[in-house]
Amino acid sequence: MSGGGDDDEHLKPATRLVRGGRRPEWTGPVVNPPVWRASTHLYASDAERREAGKSNTDGQFFYGRRGAPTQWALAEALTQIEPSAHGTVLYPSGVAAIAGCLLAVLKPGDRLLMADNSYDPSRGMATGLLKRLGVETTFFDPLDLDAYRALFAQPVKAVWLESPGSLTFEVCDIPALAPIAREHGAVSLIDNTWASPLGLAALSHGCDITMMSLSKHVGGHSDLMMGSASAGERWYRALRRTAQDLGQVVSPDDAALAARGLRTMGVRLEAQTRAALRIAEWLERQPQVAQVLCPMLPSAPGHELWRRDFTGGCGLFGFVLASDDRAAAARVVDALDLFGIGYSWGGFESLALATAPQDYRCVMRSPDAAGPAIRLSIGLEDPDDLIADLAQALAQMETA
């Protein structure tokens, strides 16, 4: 078996998920790359040590911070499922990946545009760490192309996107937003954790850097923390250099877990997407629900963009309750039996979280999403059981 070569470029995504990163020199006679736990790499001679230092690439033994076959195989597999990517850098968490991307692009005095519906830790990084480093951030409405374009009247170094948007799941026009940034010499970055490259080929749609929290769909079992960023050659090298400057490295044990999860990510996403769409359609018909925030629904405002640009979905979406009582969301979540209450998503188990989207916006205002809201991550349970659980929890709103 030979895997991970250029000859695999013609293969479908599902086949790449199975084959990616499985080079014979990394796996030996077994299916998966072994877990290489090593800080020190040894050399046969001093001349060999000096020669190794000349090649800062995956596949070259040097020192544990640069990884070994376990990490290299995962990075290569992720690159192979990301159309137009030259390489992928691994980070110890999704937030570390966000920081690594932004620090690879920005320097003091630069200006960043950040979509107002971005993940809260991304927002916090812009208003915290980056601000302390002298980077100015302007939040913008990614659904207003004219207002967005006007922001380039003054220099912009980078644009941070997320689609669908965090908590409210708006779909923005990536093939329009990214070229506008490039036209003005700005770098476009996207948090593509919701869709993954299986659902949105972000680099092929014009973005320069795409990142994911591998803790979600790739890991798939709620037992690891990791992030990644993929890019074309120029920005991949900048990402790699910055990650090494910061001493970023992932555990080989976690890399093995992520690689194992990657092999089944496609079938899990398909099952969770089907279940999520069925549950979202059911929620639309419930009198206790004011709005379902799910771009996969034909009734969703951004559904046409989702159909045009995306090739898949996932199990994460939200809904707004028909109530003026902000505590109603917490009561519904507390009444659920089959949904865990917790952060993260994308695992095999379903989760529910009471949210307040408007607390995390400074530009966008969505009256439809102003009520008490709940975010659901649909796992691999039978959707009939999840619907029954939601029905009994929603029924308790009427007796509260």
What average pLDDT does the structure give for the chain? Answer: 95
Whether 128 and 137 have beta carbons less than 8 Å apart is answered as no
Which of 236-267 are b and which e, b meaning 16 or more Cβ less than 10 Å from the residue's Cβ? bbbbbebbeeeebbbbbebbbbbbbbbbebbe
Q: pTM to 2 decimals?
A: 0.95
Whether 282 and 387 have beta carbons less than 8 Å apart is answered as yes
4 pLDDT above the threshold of 70: no
192-238: per-residue pLDDT in tens? 999 999 999 999 999 999 999 999 999 999 999 999 999 999 999 99
What number is the average pLDDT over the span 37-46?
A: 95
Closest CA to 373 of 303, 288, 310: 288
Confidence class for position 368, pLDDT limits 50, 70, 90: low
Q: Are strands 227-231 and 87-91 parallel, antiparallel or unpaired?
A: antiparallel
Q: Identify the DSSP state of 23.
A: -
350-364: per-residue pLDDT in tens? 999 999 888 888 898
Q: How far does CA 389 lie from the centroid of its chain? A: 28
Q: Could you give the residue numbers annotated as active site? A: 65, 119, 191, 216
AA letter at 335: A
Residue 365: what pLDDT? 74
**HSE of 94, CA atoms in CB hemisphere, 13 A:** 24
Confidence class for position 36, pLDDT limits 50, 70, 90: very high
Closest CA to 113 of 122, 89, 121, 85: 122
Alpha-carbon distance of 272 to 315, in angstroms, equals 5
Going 292 to 293 to 294 to 298, the CA torsion angle's sign is: positive
303 pLDDT above the threshold of 60: yes
What number is the average pLDDT over the span 292-313?
A: 97
What number is the average pLDDT over the span 280-287?
A: 98
- The DSSP H or E segment spanning 112 is strand 111-115
- DSSP notation for 207-247: -SEEEEETTTTTT-SS----EEEEE-HHHHHHHHHHHHHTT
Q: How far does CA 303 lie from the centroid of its chain? A: 20
18 pLDDT above the threshold of 60: yes
